Amino acid sequence: MKSFALIPGTPAASGMEMKTLYAAKERDMKNTSTLTHWHEEAECLSLLSGSLEFQINERTLTLKPGDTLLLFPGVIHRNGRKARDTVLIRVLVNEDVMTADSEIQSAVIRPFLENRRSDFLYIPSSMEGAGKISSLMADIEKAGREKGPLGRLSVIARLHLLLYHLYLLFPPEEKGAPLPSPSDRAVMKDMAAYIRSHYGEKITLDEIAAAGKVSRSKCCSLFKIYMDSSPIDYVNEYRLSVSRTLLEYQDTAIADIAYACGFSSQSYFTKLFSRTYHMTPRDFRASCRKAG
């Protein structure tokens, strides 16, 4: 099952097919982006080996073999540092691909996703029932290798089993207590949204801060907390993430891609791209063509 070609929430390139369902085993994560993001899909990770630091809003968790992590939609997160031998199963699923049964939607799925005091569920390997959850994640990944609609049906069937067991482990709060919504998270999303809308233009620190209605120092402080970078470094990270999709799915000249993504020159674009992904834009495009 083909993965999202770019971090969910970033612009789709022409010819790029976006998916509402993703299930895959990730062995070689050296090219996996660490760009902070959020999306409408729920995301579930199950670690098979190694270790992975994962940031969720203001918190950082270290996942170890046998651990599973479920993120609810809209949560700010990013991949962090990982061990060299890290292997994990990642599943992203949009609510729309689940059952159309209105009773199950209203009585099970929406309460499970919405009635929470936390933005995520953490199932350590030592927790009762953790083995069943990680086993289902492995089954989902295996089913995801099947081609065609039957393969997709097999994945969705197992997703329902996963939801069933997660629901038993973590029943919704009886009173449906709302999630905490610190104002800083809303400000951070406003500033990131501004970057996503204007990445092809010249962007200044003052403009980013103004988008969040905060001072320059507050802007820099929030980017350090949530993005682990400066605002301008995040702008370049986002531009690079868009350029990867354009290089993979379009035949546009590399110089034109550089300018379309807001870089002042092709040479500067190539320098940043090579430093980040350890290959030139031309070599990256060639590797995509060879893999396709």
pLDDT in tens, 122-172: 999 999 999 999 999 999 999 988 888 898 899 999 999 999 999 999 887
CATH code for the structural domain at 21-169: 2.60.120.280
Share of the chain above pLDDT 90, in %: 52
List, in sequence order, the alpha helices (H) in 227-280.
Answer: 231-249, 254-260, 266-277
pLDDT at 7 over 80: no
pLDDT in tens, 216-272: 999 999 999 888 889 999 999 999 999 998 998 889 999 999 999 999 999 999 999
What pTM did the predictor assign? 0.77
Question: Domain map of the chain by residue range?
Answer: 21-169, 183-291
pLDDT in tens, 182-218: 688 999 999 999 999 999 999 999 999 999 999 999 9
Closest residue by Cα to residue 110 from 73, 81, 136, 76: 73
User: CATH for 183-291, among 1.10.10.60, 3.30.43.10, 3.40.640.10, 3.40.50.1000?
Assistant: 1.10.10.60
pLDDT in tens, 46-94: 999 999 999 998 889 999 999 999 999 888 898 887 878 899 999 988 8
What gap in Å lies between CA 156 and CA 21, rounded to an integer?
9
First to last CA, the chain: 14
CB–CB of 92/3 below 8 Å?
Answer: no
Judge whether 21-169 and 183-291 match in fold.
Answer: no
